Structure 1
Amino acid sequence: MYGEAVALGAGTVLNALATGVGSAFALDAETRARVELDDTGTVSGDIVEAPDGDTRLIRRCVERVVERFGDGQGGHVRTESDVPMAAGLKSSSAAANATVLATLSALDVSVGDDAAVTREDACRLGVQAARDAGVTITGAFDDASASMLGGVTVTDNTADDLLARDAVDWDVLVWTPAAQAFSADADVERCERVAPMARLVEDLALDGRYGEAMTVNGLAFAAALGFPTDPAVEAMPHATGVSLSGTGPSVVAVGDRTGLERVRNDWNQREGTTWETTTRTDGAQVIE
């Protein structure tokens, strides 16, 4: 009983901490999960990039799927990722989605629009597991849906409802400083104070004005969470949109390659890592 799947990292259009409505877009950065089920009744896990890392989320994803579709199986889950951890690039959502799909595959449960489980429903299983594991404040359905479905999504995280989904075709530039920031540690009260700006961002996103939405979001939440706005200001003349991603510390800029090369020249002067990628519209996939 073996399954394998990949899911995508994502960048932020709208942080859901202020109002419960969020928006994110899928990046070409993958997390792979391999799940092998057995009759032990207990689940173990490991993370290739963090041998001593917290595996509660991926183990709980296996347990959630088995509780619903299995017969008390245990087993082992192993994840390996291109998505930096605790960098605001939805590494937890990608790991959860990949693990859920791999477990469904191991149980021979089909996933698809006309299958036993839709990809939205599979995504919700991972969101529930994230809440169980205590690794998210909002449930992160915005991040998880972008990772699972591809493109850009707008969601109501209080009800796990998908409000909109759209295809986008951007080049993406990411600056990630060395420091990590765990979303569960974010100052929710300060984020709630920027709710008026979050509602404006929501209106922009639902109107398809994703670049403007990102930039307003980035300025508001960088201020609320104590991150510098200088990287965003440097990118504004050359990018379609730029935002603090998640609760940081990464900053993502989207647009065309020529404009983002000019941004990269500035961001390369900063400590940390600057890297290029693109958006993805295909979402998470079962491999085996």
Structure 2
Amino acid sequence: MDGRAVAPAAGTVLNALATGTGSAFAIDLETTATVELTDDGGIVGEVSGQPDADTTLVERCVELTLAEYAEPAGLEDVNIGARVRTESEVPMASGLKSSSAAANATVLATLDALAIADAVERIEACRLGVRAAREAGVTVTGAFDDASASMLGGVTVTDNTTDGLLAREAIDWHALVYTPPKQSYSADADAAACKRVAPMADLVEELALDGRYGKAMTVNGFAFCGALGFSTDPMIDALPDAAGVSLSGTGPSYVAVGDREPLTTIRERWTDRDGTTRLLQTRTDGARTT
């Protein structure tokens, strides 16, 4: 029994490290997971092209999904195991929610292998992946904001302390992503420094819940660049042409959103910097089986 699913990456509107409330939006970079069920009880993970990659997260996603749903799938008496393989367009440790995309794709692929993917609500599948991420130690906040945007598509606002979905809206932006040539792991972020910008995070939350996502993410970007020690220069390069621009997650990527033509102008500025730029679409659909 095999399953396959894909999940998109995401950009940040509000970093949840300050207050526990976060907001993110899906972008058109995908992670694919394939799961093959076995009868040997073992769970083995693999990341395409990265033989030494840590597979704890995806293995935990499979383990939790099987524990929760093997019985509804009629496989409670089977010594069930799995082989899971992921491949991704999303650069790791870049602030573009690679872990959330991998978790969502893996949970859905496992449900697909169990032949019950259509019977499980997407938000519940998302929460299972968030639980796996916490238990695997790859996130500080649980990243329900990032995971919900990836799983559901559009932009979401969430309470990461309760895994509550506060708002979701379909959006139609172009998104320009600049990724410097370094990595930044969210689990290593200075959470204490982030909490000191909580008043700004409260303002960002207010703007986001009012649907003013561009202004929200720009305020977020300036606040969290300061808290996390990232340069605001790429943000200045993007203003005033972008509808919004922010450091994404805990960096190092920056994401600007708006219409294609002004983002093309910004891209000319960003390509003078070391690293890579990508001009993408936002995604109104989220993770899906294939």
TM-score, normalising length: structure 1: 0.97
Alignment partner, residue 106 of structure 1: 113
1:3 aligns with 2:6: no
Gaps of 5+ in 2: 71-75
In the TM superposition, 1:110-149 aligns within 5 A as 110-111=117-118, 115=119, 117-149=120-152
Alignment partner, residue 22 of structure 1: 22
Partner SS for 1:258: helix
CA distance in 2, matches of 1:236, 1:179: 24
Alignment partner, residue 81 of structure 1: 88
Alignment partner, residue 187 of structure 1: 190
Alignment partner, residue 279 of structure 2: 276
Amino acid of the structure 1 residue aligned with 2:287: A
Offset of residue 234 of structure 1: 1.1
CA distance in 2, matches of 1:30, 1:155: 22
The answer to whether the Cα contact below 8 Å between 1:12 and 1:23 also exists between their aligned partners in 2 is: yes
Alignment partner, residue 204 of structure 1: 207
CA distance in 2, matches of 1:47, 1:227: 29
Q: Deviations over 1:26-51 (max 9, x none)?
A: 00111000000111111001111422
Partner SS for 1:101: helix
Partner SS for 1:242: strand
Alignment partner, residue 243 of structure 1: 246
Alignment partner, residue 253 of structure 1: 256
Partner SS for 1:238: coil
Amino acid of the structure 2 residue aligned with 1:129: A
The answer to whether the Cα contact below 8 Å between 1:21 and 1:154 also exists between their aligned partners in 2 is: yes
Alignment partner, residue 221 of structure 1: 224
Alignment partner, residue 103 of structure 2: 96
CA RMSD of aligned residues (A): 0.7
Amino acid of the structure 1 residue aligned with 2:6: V
Partner SS for 1:232: helix
CA distance in 1, matches of 2:198, 2:110: 38
Alignment partner, residue 151 of structure 1: 154
Q: Deviations over 1:175-218 (max 9, x none)?
A: 00110000000000000000000000000000000000000000
The answer to whether the Cα contact below 8 Å between 1:49 and 1:81 also exists between their aligned partners in 2 is: no
- Give the total of aligned pairs: 283
Alignment partner, residue 50 of structure 1: 50
Amino acid of the structure 2 residue aligned with 1:36: E
